[in-house]
Amino acid sequence: MNEIVDHKADVVIIGGGVNGCSLAYQLAKRGMKIVLCEKGHLCSGATGRCGAGIRQQWSTRENSELAIKSIQIFERLEKELGQDIGLRQGGYLIVVHDKSDMKQAKRNVDMQKALGLDVSILTPDEIVDIVPILDVKGMHAVGATFCPTDGHVDPFKTTHAYAQAAIRYGAQLYKFTKVVGIKKKKKRIDSVLTDRGKISTDFVVNAAGAWSKQIAEMVGVKLPNKPFRKEILVTERVKPLFDAMVISFKDGIYFSQQEEGQILGGIPIPNEKPGYLTAPTFDFLHHMAKTLARYAPPLKHVNVIRQWTGYYDVTPDALPIIGEVEGIKGFIQCNGFSGHGFMLSPMVTKILTAYIADGRTPRILKRLSLSRFKGKKIVREVSVVG
């Protein structure tokens, strides 16, 4: 393995998931000298273990704004990068279970429509028009919301397309390179220390996902993020049955049919504690199978072929932390996505590129900065599974 000897960069990005690779591409395209350090292989963290869904239906304006603009970028990304990213827009059907859920759903839809989103509230009869295999009574559904432009993107294809484009523009991506320290001088970022050498830089972007908290501690910054194990299963292939992603915020379940026919989905483990837990559990398998069969009875006899674990990097309000940390010039956060970093990455990295390359500070950067947790009332994103 080659050593990094007295290397210099305009920006060092820590983390080789979709956010890190997207940011490396966009900054390198602007002519900046970029180094990305990833302790494993690209997509080895949350990006490569996610459910691949992209949705614009949220309860907070911040997430909705980022998601709407991100999907607009996803829609033209294949042409921009010159590679297939596996975009499929079959919509998201979000189940509504009771009067309280419906009140929240109507508030969400009103806000989303004000942002220009094509979204609607469905009756129980209209639910099965979208996904015929669903059992409305078994789901205890009183309705649903549906947005046809939500869908899926392949996280591996997308991340590697960003990475290859970044390299074409001169970015250097160091895989299997662990960051062991960050140095600062007079409250400014000075350099990054890795197990392969030192990199002098003015900017460090902390895009390390569930390990972002440890990276921040290297410069004395405390992040409120907590890692939570999340599990996903995938079944054998079956004939095409539905196009939409089905989710429920109340039950925490989500599932979709992949292009090749597999059913992929997840659900939170009851009473799961935070921590770096990696082992798949039978509790998840049992809970997921039981709930999935209740939602979609035709799937009760489908065989599960694989399950795996990943992490949500969860903040107190389930919103991401992005932007520069107060008191440390050049230390940029891009983490805390609470399970939704992949779907928000195109717009988040575009905003950070504008900040780093042009010095522009959009209003949303202030709303999503780390400083929002200092003695202020937290408004939590409620449209999350898990």
60 lies in some domain: no
Q: Kindly state whether residues 252 and 143 are assigned to the same domain.
A: yes
Quick one: how far is CA 309 from the chain centroid?
15
Last residue in a domain, options 265, 299, 314:
314
HSE-up (13 A, CA, CB side) for residue 237: 4
Predicted local confidence at residue 195, as pLDDT: 93
Please answer whether residues 329 and 372 qualify as being in contact, where contact means their C-beta atoms are separated by less than 8 angstroms. no
180 lies in some domain: yes
On the 0-12 / 13-18 / 19+ scale of CB atoms within 10 A, 5 is exposed
Predicted local confidence at residue 376, as pLDDT: 72
Q: Kindly state whether residues 245 and 350 are assigned to the same domain.
A: no
Read off the CATH number of the domain in which 140 is found: 3.30.9.10
Q: Kindly state whether residues 322 and 190 are assigned to the same domain.
A: yes
- Residue 269 is given by DSSP the state P
Q: Kindly state whether residues 325 and 365 are assigned to the same domain.
A: yes
Q: Kindly state whether residues 217 and 323 are assigned to the same domain.
A: yes
Q: Kindly state whether residues 44 and 174 are assigned to the same domain.
A: yes
Predicted local confidence at residue 6, as pLDDT: 56
Q: Is 156 helix (H, G, I), strand (E, B) or coil?
A: helix
Which residues on adjacent β-strands are paired with residue 265?
233, 255
188 lies in some domain: yes
Predicted local confidence at residue 8, as pLDDT: 94
The pLDDT tens digits along the chain (386 residues) read 566 655 899 999 999 999 999 999 999 999 999 999 999 999 999 999 999 999 999 999 999 999 999 999 999 999 999 999 999 999 999 999 999 999 999 999 999 999 999 999 999 999 999 999 999 999 999 999 999 999 999 999 999 999 999 999 999 999 999 999 999 999 999 999 999 999 999 999 999 999 999 999 999 999 999 999 999 999 999 999 999 999 999 999 999 999 999 999 999 988 889 999 999 999 999 999 999 999 999 999 999 999 999 999 999 999 999 999 999 999 999 999 999 999 999 999 999 999 999 998 989 999 999 999 987 788 899 999 86
Last residue in a domain, options 314, 332, 356:
314
Residue carrying the six token digits 């046809």: 148
Please answer whether residues 345 and 43 qualify as being in contact, where contact means their C-beta atoms are separated by less than 8 angstroms. no
Kindly report each contact of residues 359-362 with a partner whose C-beta sits within 8 Å and lies 24 or more positions away, as own/partner.
361/323
Predicted local confidence at residue 379, as pLDDT: 85
Read off the CATH number of the domain in which 23 is found: 3.50.50.60
Q: How many Å is the maximal CA-CA distance in the chain?
A: 65
Q: Kindly state whether residues 351 and 338 are assigned to the same domain.
A: yes
Q: Kindly state whether residues 246 and 221 are assigned to the same domain.
A: no
384 lies in some domain: no
CA–CA gap between residue 46 and residue 48 (Å, rounded): 6
Task: Please give the tally of structural domains in the chain.
Answer: 2
Q: Kindly state whether residues 143 and 160 are assigned to the same domain.
A: no
Q: Kindly state whether residues 190 and 297 are assigned to the same domain.
A: no
310 lies in some domain: yes
Non-local CB neighbours of 12 within 8 Å, separated by 6+ positions: 35, 36, 37, 192, 199, 201, 203, 204, 205
Q: Which domain covers residue 215, as residue numbers?
A: 4-48+156-225+317-373
- What is the value of pTM for the model shown? 0.96
Please answer whether residues 356 and 27 qualify as being in contact, where contact means their C-beta atoms are separated by less than 8 angstroms. yes
301 lies in some domain: yes
Q: Kindly state whether residues 236 and 291 are assigned to the same domain.
A: yes
Predicted local confidence at residue 171, as pLDDT: 97
Residue carrying the six token digits 């410069």: 219
Q: Kindly state whether residues 216 and 337 are assigned to the same domain.
A: yes
Burial profile 53-65: b = 16 or more Cβ within 10 angstroms, e = fewer:
bbbbbbbbebbbb
282 lies in some domain: yes
68 lies in some domain: no
